[in-house]
A and B are shown apart, each in its own frame.
Chain A
């Protein structure tokens, strides 16, 4: 079992096929484990050379907020990992405009550069994907 490919031997069944994968992050970074375990999927998926996009909406926009201090809740602050995604060739990060505005945030408050999309365009983005994983 390979560590970097999460238990899959790369063979002709998988290599060569490129699908559009979209990871939809809807939940706040702490309080539940969804955000952290979603990020673990994204990092493993990077080894498969697929066409990857990430979406942040609802409370999911807080995952990218600057200035996360988690020491007092005894949970690891994993937000720096989002900055490392570029190194995995994961560069398509989308944030839903309405979700960001409803929480009084702007792109200035986020730790990585993102593309802002209104809800209607978000629907189009989702429609154009092969695989949508929602967390």
Chain B
């Protein structure tokens, strides 16, 4: 099955982005495809390379970048939501790109299922 994923919460404060990541990983392991992961609301904070968690904690941002590189997943950050929160190309982590909300709608149209992870 071809999945689209939407992440609506930032890292660490909410579990939503962890759950989205674990879902994506599990889906890929089962042989499913991830068409795109779209970051919206505070979810855009998953994409900043300025994130520095303590050494003994998971690095949520780096984890997304690694997943994208290994499975060629399109990580899209909403431009309007990103600019509101100080996310721009200069501080974007590896594997993410900034684009418009149309990418989310397109994902809903092209994927077999669009799964939303939020609060």
> B51: CB under 8 A from chain A?
no
> A116: CB under 8 A from chain B?
no
Interface size on B, residues (CB 8 A): 21
A44 touches B110 (CB 8 A): no
Out of B8, B105, B118, which one reaches A50, CB within 8 Å? Answer: B105
> B109: CB under 8 A from chain A?
yes
Residues in chain B near residue A115, CB distance under 8 A? none
Contact residues of B: prevailing secondary structure: helix
Out of B79, B99, B102, which one reaches A48, CB within 8 Å? Answer: B102
Out of B80, B100, B114, B118, which one reaches A135, CB within 8 Å? Answer: B118
A: interface residue count bin: 20 to 34
Q: Which positions in B face A, CB cutoff 8 Å?
A: 6, 8, 40-41, 79-81, 99-106, 108-110, 114, 116, 118
A-B contact pairs, 11 of them (CB 8 A): A6-B99, A6-B104, A7-B79, A8-B100, A37-B40, A37-B41, A37-B80, A44-B105, A47-B102, A48-B106, A132-B116
